[in-house]
Amino acid sequence: MIEIDKITRLYNGVPAVDAVTMTIETGTVTVIVGTSGSGKTTLLRMINRLEEPSSGEVRINGESTLTIKPHILRRRIGYAIQGHGLFPHHTVARNIGAVPELLNWSADKISARVDELLTLFSMEPETFRNRYPGELSGGQQQRVGVARALASRPDLLLMDEPFGALDPVIRTRAQDDLRRIQKQLGSTIILVTHDMEEAIRLADRVAVMDSGQLVQHGTPAEIITRPATEFVADMVGRVERPLRLLSLVPVSELVEEGVAEGEALPVEASLRDALSACLWTGRAAVPVEQDGVLVGRVTFEAIRARARARAHP
Amino acid sequence: MRIGTFLRPALTLLLLALVLRPVWFTPLFAPFASAGGPVIYERASLLSLSISHLGLVAAASAAATLVAVTLAILVTRPAGAAFLPLSRTITNMGQTFPPVAVLALAVPALGFGAGPTLVALFLYGLLPIFENAIVALSTLPPATMEAARGIGLNRWQQLVRVELPLALPVTLTGIRLSVVIALGTATLGSTVAARTLGEVIIAGLLTNNTAFVLQGGLIVGLFAVLIYDALVQLETRLVRRTGG
Ligand SMILES: Nc1ncnc2c1ncn2[C@@H]1O[C@H](COP(=O)(O)OP(=O)(O)OP(=O)(O)O)[C@@H](O)[C@H]1O
Ligand SMILES: [Mg+2]
């Protein structure tokens, strides 16, 4: 459990982060969203003490971070920096293996881990292992930056806009990979983004920052349906609101008996995918399949009813 | 590049011949010799003079590099920032003193020979290295430095694993300038009895023998050109590796 306790950071008397208090459960993904300059990076950097708070403190499992030497603290916390920050004079493999090296892993174990991570991020180890960061595309550099943060399997991961430079296809895949790894390892992730879509897709809890203050901290559904301020409502977007809500619900929740025409959707798909399929093909219902076997259908009418019920509970 | 691939070995061979087999060049230098005087300098072997010359330059440059880089590291730490102006003043003074004056002042203290020359070359070498090292260490990519701290390197590891390697190419440019200046300046050392190639030039000037002057000058010039070129190549290679 990470407790952020009335943490404040002043720059020339002006608060960049203003008395933020927030508790983060172990094994969850918390996404911090906010406009540019709202203090997201500053908040994140105070957790691993790259920035010292002007007042307040952070406790990890009850232990104040102020009692630990900063560089020792940071070796325990994975950190993917905004804009990758790779070491230009080290190969991809050495960049990814930087923290394991500091923790004295054996060379074999490090190189196995490097290859595993490269593969995970769809980068052929043979091809990329010995390249220098200058020989990678922006998106590849960013993935190596994220791989470096994951390398030692830290319990806590801080990620500052880790997918900003990725194209939509790879970004979606990287998000899914991150979520899968997180579930597998049970790690705690605090991720910064200004993309609400990304926040809702990844988060167990969303924290919305506005001018240094934490204006709302809740589940994605709460943020969408009960925005605490106008600012939060604007961040969610009034037009996208119902669709974002539907994207949180899997088709499996509305599956009913019956048949429908056309291409089937997997049960893991969201209601938004189902709605989109209905609209695009003009169907009133879409068949649903599980592991390739038809299990029923989801109707347009049911989606509409659910959207209304969720929006006005 | 193309020119270099032919010129480099050609100049190296020319230099080797001039140093090891000077008599081969008798016909070439004969027209410049004083009437009836010797054409080729034979009072000392050119090889031993060259080795002594290069040795002085190497020792002085190594010491200057060590001191200048250490100073640059200290004044680019947060705790040392206050000393930046002072250390700049000191190294600049080293540069504004004419080399001959340094030699003249150092002789009473250190006696004739290699000592005063080493001091002069050392003082002259400091400034370019110090300035370049400071620029290099204070313009490192901020994101990389942030990452170095962020993954948990301590101060010393940050310096040794990240800052110094990244600062190396620009620092090397300073070292190159300093070495080339020292190669030329070292010739003055022979006025206070240091064994350098300046001996040949001075002997030529004293006896009005242009052949000696040409011979000594040519050898020093070729050393300067070839060493400069080698260091440029080293830098290029380093820059390419650090992703420039
Ligand atoms: N070192 C600093 N000195 C002075 N002001 C700073 C410093 N670092 C950040 N700030 C200010 O603090 C505020 C918050 O900055 P921060 O980097 O946390 O924003 P952010 O939410 O991460 O923005 P972005 O989405 O653009 O990355 C900004 O107004 C910024 O100008
Ligand atoms: Mg930021």
Closest CA to A5 of A58, A83, A79: A58
Structural domain includes residue B11: no
B-chain residue closest to A81, CA distance:
B147
> pLDDT at position A66, please?
92
What residue numbers bound the domain in which B139 lies?
A: 46-243
Q: In terms of C-beta distances under 8 Å and separation of at least 24 residues, what long-range contacts does A94-97 make, across chains too?
A: A95/A133, A95/A144, A95/A148, A96/A144, A96/A147, A96/A148, A96/A151, A97/A151
Mean of pLDDT over chain B? 84
Nearest to B151 among A79, A84, A89 (CB): A79
Greater confidence, A286 or B192?
A286
**Residue B127 and residue B174: Cα distance in Å, rounded?**
8
Residue A53: count other Cβ atoms within 10 Å of its Cβ: 24
Look at residues B128, B138, B142 and name the one whose alpha carbon lies nearest to residue B172. Answer: B128
Distance of alpha carbon A157 from the chain centroid: 10
In this predicted structure, what is the pLDDT of residue B20?
79
Tell me if B176 is assigned to some domain. yes
List, chain by chain if needed, residues with CB within 6 Å of any ligand 1 atom: A 11, 16, 34, 36-42, 82, 194
ipTM of the predicted structure? Answer: 0.82
pLDDT at position A167: 85
CB A222 within 8 A of CB A237: no
B33 occurs within a structural domain: no
Select the residue from B140, B149, B151 to test the A interface by mutation, using most A Cβ atoms within 10 A: B151
The answer to whether residue B120 sits within a structural domain is yes
Neighbours of ion ligand 2 (CB under 5 A): A 41
Q: Which residues of B touch A83 (CB under 8 A)?
A: 143
CATH number of the domain bearing residue B234: 1.10.3720.10
Q: Would you say residue B111 has pLDDT above 80?
A: no
Amino acid B136: pLDDT: 92
Domain assignment of residue B83, yes or no: yes
Give the residue ranges of chain A where pLDDT is below 70. Answer: 313
pTM: 0.82
Does residue B191 lie within any of the structural domains? yes
More confident residue, B212 or A64: A64
What integer is the mean pLDDT of B165-175?
Answer: 91
Is B105 within a domain?
Answer: yes
For the segment B205-224, the average pLDDT, to the nearest whole number, is 86
Distance CA A4, CA B13 (A): 71
Q: Taking Cα atoms as reference points, which of A82, A77, A44 lies closest to residue A161?
A: A82
**Substitution target from A50, A52, A69, A81 for chain B, most B beta carbons within 10 A:** A81
Q: Which residues contact B29 (CB under 8 A, 6 or more apart)?
A: B39, B40, B211, B214, B215
Residues 6 or more apart from A47 whose CB is under 8 A from it?
Answer: A2, A4, A58, A65, A77, A158, A190
Residues recorded for chain B: 244
Higher pLDDT, B108 or A147: A147
Regarding predicted confidence, which is higher, B230 or B40? B230
Domain annotation covers residue B199? yes
Cα–Cα distances in Å, from B171 out to A181, B70, B126, B228? 43, 12, 12, 14
Model confidence at B244, pLDDT cuts 50, 70, 90, reads: very low
Q: What is the pLDDT of residue B242?
A: 65
**Closest Cα to residue A203, out of A214, A212, A190, A186?**
A190
Question: What pLDDT digit, counting tens, does each position of B22-67 carry?
Answer: 778 777 777 777 777 777 777 778 888 888 889 999 999 999 999 9
Q: Find the mean pLDDT for residues B141-155.
A: 92
Q: How many domains would you assign to chain B?
A: 1
